[in-house]
Structure 1
Amino acid sequence: MTESTYLHATQVAYDTVAADYAELLRDELVSKPLDRAMLAAFAEVVQASGAKEVAYLGCGPGRITAHLQSLGAPVFENRVSWQQERPQGEPDPQGIQGCERT
């Protein structure tokens, strides 16, 4: 299997479950105070460092990136699945900018 064939197969698999996955994890951070605290600490370190931007790779439906952005971290995403960003072709409700299809 060539890299492009492998990448295409991965994208198809991710696209197939994108809407269900996004719905399943929509409110995941609500019940995870430790995760929120770690993300807040990371956002603080990023801001203090003066970084212009931070990449979040393989980021699923975008809930972590949206949370980091809400904390002021300059985060962008790079995803394998375009449908993970926009389940069933709908606009991303979190308004995440800077996603690129690999």
Structure 2
Amino acid sequence: MFEGDTVIKSELVQIVAARNPHLYHRDVENIVNAVLDEITDALAGGNRVELRGFGAFSVKNRPSRSGRNPRTGDAVFVEEKWVPFFKTGKELRERLNPGQADQDD
């Protein structure tokens, strides 16, 4: 199915196109791009995106803080920022850990 440790977008497009030979490759590429763009736009708007059985994407706030430069050890100010966050869905966790009871519920 997947080659290597990481799947890049072009490989995902190829896999989906191979599983759906009735669709043109360019249409599959447009669909994948549209889905990813909609998720990105929703997150940029501060919304949450939930894909049942797979997981939920959201944004979390990281407040400003004092940090350290790893090279010099000097104190540095790290500004507040918003970061993407992904929480796996129950079905995905069960598929990754077959036979284990769900710990989060």
Is the shorter-chain TM-score for this pair beyond 0.5, marking a shared fold? no
Q: Max radius of gyration: which structure?
A: 2
| Structure ranking higher in strand proportion | 2
- Highest RCO, 1 vs 2 (Cα 8 Å, sep ≥ 6): 1
- Quickly name the TM-score band, shorter chain normalised: 0.3 to 0.5
